[in-house]
A and B are shown apart, each in its own frame.
Chain A
Amino acid sequence: MNPLELVNRLRTFLPSEAVLYEAEDLRPYECDGLSAYRQTPMIVALPQTEDEVVQILRVCHAARTPVVARGAGTGLSGGALPHAEGVLLSLAKLRRILGVDPAARTARVQPGVRNLAISEAAAPYSLYYAPDPSSQIACSIGGNVAENSGGVHCLKYGLTVHNILKLRVVTIEGEILEIGGESLDSPGYDLLALMTGSEGMLGVVTEVTVKLMPRPEKAQVVMAAFDDLRKAADAVANVIGAGIIPAGMEMMDKITTHAVEGYVHAGYNLDAAAILLCESDGTMEEVAEEIQRIDEIMNQSGATEIRTSRDEAERLRFWAGRKAAFPAAGRISPDYYCMDGTIPRKNLANVLSGIEALSAEYGLRCMNVFHAGDGNLHPLILYDANRPGELKMTEEFGAKILQMCIRAGGTITGEHGVGIEKINEMCSQFKAGELEMFHAVKAAFDPHGLLNPGKAVPTLRRCAEHGAMHVHRGEEKFAGLPRF
């Protein structure tokens, strides 16, 4: 169907300002948080109700037009990168909190509601929504479901998949599925798990029922400095080995602490090779006991300096540096590229030395921030896009880090998703049969492949073309994608 015909069809039930197609109106939607990839969509549709979502999907399904769903557009893997011949379906206007049930500790919200807004709405009842991705001020819950977002506290409190009860999902055929329930489980297959993290490939989420948790009485953080990364990694294992599940456990390397200290003045030890932040939360008694044990373990693990937050202001200051790592990277470098591999923690020291060697090889600096409790690495490669070839080198460096994560028994993405960014690395992590099964699962929901086509799961043809990817990758990125 030609674009104007589709616009007219959509405008039969959407107000004209909710259907955009002029180049200047489309521009703001050309990328998500991964701005290295840009593509304007053919049309942007901005529904305000679930019924409008149903009608849009029916029209697109009938016209065999691709649909890319988008929440707040903060994703870091290009999952919401538009399709040139498709409709970008923005869920931003579905942003009502439909209800908070303090007794049952749940909230029912539309997909465009910001992650943090849920906790704010629950705050009067001393409840909160646990997953806290660093973009929580801006990112939407619909996007969190699509990516199975985590956050600093997910070792103890889980990812999105552990903190939602029910979804309303519209299929590309325009059918509404109620997945999950108000109970703790549901009959049949666990489609709630399957939908979570499916990157907008299986359906469009129009409503989410989340679990709320009681706000802990107290939180306190231990900041420990180490003169050797290996010792810091051992300290993490020692804490876990002692039977402690910290509320948060984060590691920063020297280049990171230097970058953030000048920015937030958190009081980090600048001589340290690594800084660990280890948080305890719970009742007053629990925290007092746990903090004392953490302190002892850090000491026994060879920390050169240990400080425990004395009050809430100091706790927030210790965290401020970690939270400012990304902006700090932006301050010391014109551009940075954030990676997202996960590894078994025991391989941390080796992987970090590997990254250091690659950093030297490529002549590109790399900051390492690390969700140490669950093995999720975020190397930030610093580069300058204005220097010819540097982006390409950065991508090559990044791809090598991901290959290293796979070899270390880990995965190419812990929480940012595959999107368009890591689609080639999927060929390394999965065998053909597994990729075929992913395509089959998608086909069960979306037989014509109209939802977010070309993302998350590579075609076998694409993998074959990139078969020698780790040997000489980089001649032509995304050769399988049409160019516009």
Chain B
Amino acid sequence: MQYLIDQFSDTIRAAAAHKIPLCIRGGGSKDFYGNRMVGQEAGMLDPAAYAGIVDYEPTELVVTACAGTRLADLETVLSTHGQMLAFEPPHFGSAATLGGCVAAGLSGPRRASVGAVRDFVLGVRMLDGKGDNLNFGGQVMKNVAGYDVSRLMAGSMGTLGLLLEVSLKVLPVPAMELTLRIPMAEAEAIGRMNLWAGKPLPISATCFYDGALTLRLSGAEPAVRAAHAKLGGEEMDDGADFWDSVREQTHPFFQPGKSLWRLSIKSTTLPLPLPGKQLIEWGGALRWWASDEDMDAEAMRIMVKAAGGHATLFRSQELYAAVFHPLVPEMMNIHRRLKEKFDPMGILNPGRMYPPF
């Protein structure tokens, strides 16, 4: 499939020569996420054809796949070997690709217990903004040769390069999973989630919504049973569907409204004083707020900053609202300098993360 890489590289070189922005887009499942691209006459760069698994050795716990590989296909192959992408990436549609998953950097319910996309990225092969084919990281678990450019690519929204291949650490699917539901108030739920996270309990996901805390236990059956006995709560029959609905945002809470805010904060933060309902994940560290009312974005960002985190306008009907939390000038400076090194002509997904680049 070298010809595909050559094609991508030619496209990037031509775009760089004429300073024409390129929109990197795989399955398009996350088009809604991030800022609009800057530049009207953008060319397209669609890596979907560069698909397939390059190397997978279950006993090495490592898979390498092309960026255009559909996330669903990759997960199917892993599951036949009893393994999984432990960070449970949201797909937001069947067309979702591995490249998009890594570029968006989003993780699902298991994130608080096992880590995020970036924690599982071991290596990448990519084209930078000059069309150069570069490899960073590798296919092994421990590797400190060179700067960790591969993890830097996770969540970079395609602004630093076109991902070609990604190597990920994979984990075994737990022998057993059990979902519990315990009715309680929000403040109590936040306290419990933090308390339990500090105990050796096999909790792999948490979600508070509408007066109930939902917990997932994962592991060997005796361990899961023992933890259930300790924690109490009612076992849910459709646990897997529930976590799927939280991850894919098909849960009724996420019904399209005016805006959906993603508030990533310190897990012990007391209930945020926001009108209407919130859905809380990640042991209290991720709070979703859906609203039909107008929210002063500035006020929201100040409140969330005080809670040790940042606010993302995850979904909005307003096309040109700023999505990501603004960076302080020193950080913006470093971001611009890095962008300039990876993409000197500023042609890759310009503005998708922050308008200046």
Task: Show the binding face of A for B, using Cβ within 8 Å.
Answer: 101-105, 125-127, 147-148, 150, 154-155, 158-159, 161-162, 171, 175-179, 181-191, 193-194, 196-198, 201-202, 212, 214-217, 237-238, 240-241, 243-245, 282-286, 288-290, 342-346, 371, 373-376, 409-418, 422, 426, 429-431, 433-434, 437-438, 440-445, 456-457
Contact = CB atoms under 8 A, between A and B. Distances in A.
15 contacts: A103-B195, A178-B328, A182-B307, A184-B112, A187-B310, A190-B151, A194-B147, A197-B144, A283-B227, A375-B60, A409-B140, A417-B144, A422-B145, A429-B146, A444-B337
Given A171-B330, A187-B325, A243-B82, 19 more contacts: A103-B268, A148-B144, A154-B141, A185-B264, A189-B155, A189-B338, A190-B152, A190-B154, A194-B149, A217-B200, A245-B171, A282-B219, A286-B219, A343-B140, A344-B139, A374-B141, A375-B142, A411-B145, A414-B142
Contacts of B128: 437
B119 interface: yes
Contacts of A189: 152, 155-156, 160, 335, 338
Contact of B198 (A103, A429, A445): A103
B1 interface: no
A175 B330 contact: yes
B353 interface: yes
B144, B175, B338: residue with the most chain A Cβ atoms closer than 10 Å: B144
B154 A283 contact: no
Interface stretch (B19-27, B69-77, B129-137, B246-254): B129-137
B279 interface: no
B138 A182 contact: no
B148 A374 contact: no
Interface residues of B, number: 87
Interface of B: 57-62, 82, 105, 111-112, 115-116, 118-119, 128, 132-136, 138-149, 151-152, 154-156, 160, 171-173, 175, 194-195, 197-202, 219-223, 225-227, 264-268, 282, 285-286, 307-310, 312, 324-328, 330-331, 334-335, 337-338, 340-342, 353-354
A182 B60 CA distance: 33
A104 B134 contact: no
A375 B140 contact: yes
B136 to A, nearest CB: 7
Nearest to A425: B145
Given A342-B143, A343-B140, A193 B152 contact: yes
A187, A345, A443: residue with the most chain B Cβ atoms closer than 10 Å: A187
Contact of B226 (A147, A283, A373): A283
Contacts of B145: 411-413, 418, 422, 426, 429-430
Contact of A243 (B151, B173, B222, B354): B173
Contact of A127 (B59, B198, B310): B198
Contacts of B337: 443-445
